[in-house]
Amino acid sequence: MKIRKTRKITGAMIALALIASAAFTACEDTGTGAGGSSEPTNTTEAANGSEPQSSSTSPVTPADKIEHEYDDLHALLTAIAEEANKSLEGFDQIQPFLPPLPDAPAFDAEFIVGVEQSQFDKLAVDAVREMAAMMTTPFEMVLIETNDAADAKQLAYLIAENYDPGKWICVFPATAATMQAGNFVLVAAADEIQSDAIAGAFEAILGADATVNLFHEGDLDFGDGDGGFGFGGGMGEIDMGEDGIDGGDGGIIELV
C-alpha cells in the first residue's frame, strides 16, 4: 500500500513538473519578459563560441583601385579622362585613348617627366603615357604607380621641379600639374579648362585627399636679353605690332 501511494504521488509531481517546464519554455521562446521587451540576439557569432565578426569594411585605398576596379594603369588613366570629359565640351574634350601597343618603347623618364631614369626606376613600379593624336597639340597625361605613398610624394616633387613644358618645341601647354593620391602620381599638361577637369576627375576616382600642384602656368620665356623671345600659354591669332607680335587671347610673342 505504501509503495502504491508513493508511486501515485511521484506521478503527480512529474506531471506538474512537465506542465511547469512547458510553460517556462513557451515564455523563453517568445523572447519577452514581463515588460514585453527582449535582448537582441547576435546572429553573427560562430557556433564554436568565437567572437562575432564586425560588419564594417576597411576603406578602399588608391592602391586598391588597380586590383579591384581596373585591369591596369591604362584602364585607370582612361577612366580619369572619361570622368574629366563629363565637364568638358567640344574641342576641350579629351579624345579617346588608343589601346596600348604591345611593343611600345620603354618609358623615357628623363624626357617625359624630367627625372633621371635611375632615380625614376627606384621610385616607380609602372607608368603609362597618353598624348594628343597630333604632336602639334601640347597635351599629355602620364599616370605613374610607385612603391608607396612616400615615394609618390617624392616623385611628384621631382617632376614639378624638373618637368620641361617646352619639350614640344614649337607649341607649349598653358598649364602643367602633378596630382598625387596614395601611391599614384598623375602628370597633366593641358589647357586651363582641361587641367581643372582632370584634377576634379583624379580626386573623384582616387580620393578627395588628393594633392594637386599646378607648377606651370602662363608664359615660357626664352629671352636672353639679346633678341630672344617668349611664348604665352598657347598659340592663337597673330598680329604684328610695333613692339612685337601679339598672339591675341591664345598667347603672346614678345621681343625681349
Q: Is residue 239 part of a domain?
A: yes
Q: Give the amino acid at 39.
A: E
Both 83 and 181 in a single domain?
Answer: yes
SS3 category, 216: strand
The confidence score (pLDDT) of residue 33 equals 42
Asked if 197 and 206 touch (Cβ cutoff 8 Å), the reply is: no
Per residue of the chain (256 residues), what is the pLDDT tens digit? 343 444 444 454 444 455 555 554 544 544 444 444 444 444 333 344 444 454 455 566 666 767 778 889 999 999 999 999 999 999 999 998 888 877 778 999 999 999 999 999 999 999 999 998 777 889 999 999 999 999 999 999 999 999 999 998 888 999 999 999 999 999 999 999 999 999 999 999 998 789 999 999 976 544 444 444 333 334 333 344 455 544 444 444 443 3
Q: Is residue 144 part of a domain?
A: yes
DSSP state string for 138-196? --EEEEEEESSHHHHHHHHHHHHHH--TTTTSS---SEEEEEEETTEEEEEEE-HHHHH
The number of folded domains in the chain is: 2
Dist. CA 91–CA 95, nearest whole Å: 9
- Paired strand residues for 144: 127, 185
Look up the domain containing 241 and give its range. 219-256
Both 104 and 211 in a single domain?
Answer: yes
Q: Is residue 23 part of a domain?
A: no
Q: Is residue 58 part of a domain?
A: no
Both 169 and 229 in a single domain?
Answer: no
Kind and range of the H or E element at 96? none
Q: Is residue 43 part of a domain?
A: no
What predicted TM-score, i.e. pTM, was given to this entire model? 0.64
Both 127 and 253 in a single domain?
Answer: no
Q: Is residue 24 part of a domain?
A: no
The confidence score (pLDDT) of residue 136 equals 81
Both 86 and 205 in a single domain?
Answer: yes
CA distances from 183 to 116, 123, 143 (A): 19, 10, 11
Both 193 and 208 in a single domain?
Answer: yes
The confidence score (pLDDT) of residue 219 equals 60
